[in-house]
Amino acid sequence: MSSSILDILSQQLGGDVVRQMSAQLGTDEGSINNAISAALPMLLEGLARNSSNPQGADALSSALTRDHDGSILDDLGGFLGSGNAGAGESILGHIFGRKTDSMASILGQASGMNAVSAASLLAMLAPLVMGALGHIQRQGGLDAGGLSDMLGSERSRLEQSTPGLSGLARMLDFDGDGQIMDDVGQLAGVLGQLFRR
């Protein structure tokens, strides 16, 4: 596959889109760019984790086929201007479940944004990530297994390019001990490494 998810998204998340996000969130463009650099790996890690078993991969593949064909990437300005945050919030619920609010808090701490703005940014980005996934799935003719493999490869690329990111799943508390907020400081530090790259 020639393009990674982050390649596709980085082509889309240029100056005009960041300016629009900045205006909507009342946050400066530099902070938005920093937060995007941390938020995309968080979202991709969650998706990779969820699709690492056959049931999760099937559910993600079905959702992409049904609702995310990639066309959202053709008019990001229109999507962002629609004020339709509900779709993004629903996607976040599927990715992070009951940990969604904690993820927003962690992103806010890592990026310097307040938690409300961080949550809004995650809700803006989630449909874009799903759109990029849908585009890659359709372009590559991927079945659920292929989708899972692709997300696993994307996770590996992220871990290789960003020191410390290999511990993201553990720090997100996907190991199930229920103490996610114990890991906030550690995760904020790891995500902060992205800003200095």
| Rounded alpha-carbon distances, angstroms, from residue 173 to 43, 50, 103 | 14, 13, 11
17 has a pLDDT exceeding 80 = yes
* pTM given for the model: 0.84
pLDDT band at 120 (very low <50, low <70, confident <90, very high): very high
123 has a pLDDT exceeding 60 = yes
Q: What is the pLDDT of residues 26-63, one digit of tens each?
A: 999 988 988 898 888 889 988 998 899 999 999 999 99
Cβ atoms of 6 and 42 closer than 8 Å: no
How far apart CA 120 and CA 138 sit, in angstroms, is 28
